[in-house]
A = this chain, B = another copy of it.
Amino acid sequence: MEHGDIWLSSLKTDGPQAGFKLAVKLSRMGVKLTQPSDEVRSHLRAAYEQDSAQLMAASHIIAIHFQTVAAANNWWR
């Protein structure tokens, strides 16, 4: 991601599954903006992907973002 890149232009998605995918992306961007080094994140990923507590922490953050995305899409009603 170069400075000035657009990575989030809208919270609107084509249905809930795409919304869930966006929630995953937002969760990762929260980490990326805190630790911008691709190298450090790759290194850490190798560890946490084998750690169920951290996988749950990831799922937890996704759940929060999914609330936001779902509300933005009026729950795709």
| Copies, count | 6
CB-nearest residue of chain B to A47: B52
Interface of chain A, helix or strand or loop or mixed? helix
Contact across chains for B65 and A75 when beta carbons are under 8 A apart: no
CB-nearest residue of chain B to A64: B63
Interface residues contributed by chain A, number (CB under 8 Å): 54
Query: Given the complex, which residues of B lie within 8 Å of A67, measured CB to CB?
Result: 64, 67-68
Taking a contact as CB atoms closer than 8 A, the residue among B30, B50, B57 that contacts A40 in the complex is B50
Q: List the interface of chain A (C-beta within 8 A of B).
A: 6-12, 15-17, 20-21, 24, 26-31, 33-35, 40-41, 44-45, 47-68, 70-72, 75-77
9 extra A-B contacts, CB within 8 A, seeds A44-B55, A53-B57, A63-B65 = A8-B16, A11-B76, A20-B26, A20-B29, A30-B62, A44-B51, A44-B52, A48-B52, A56-B58
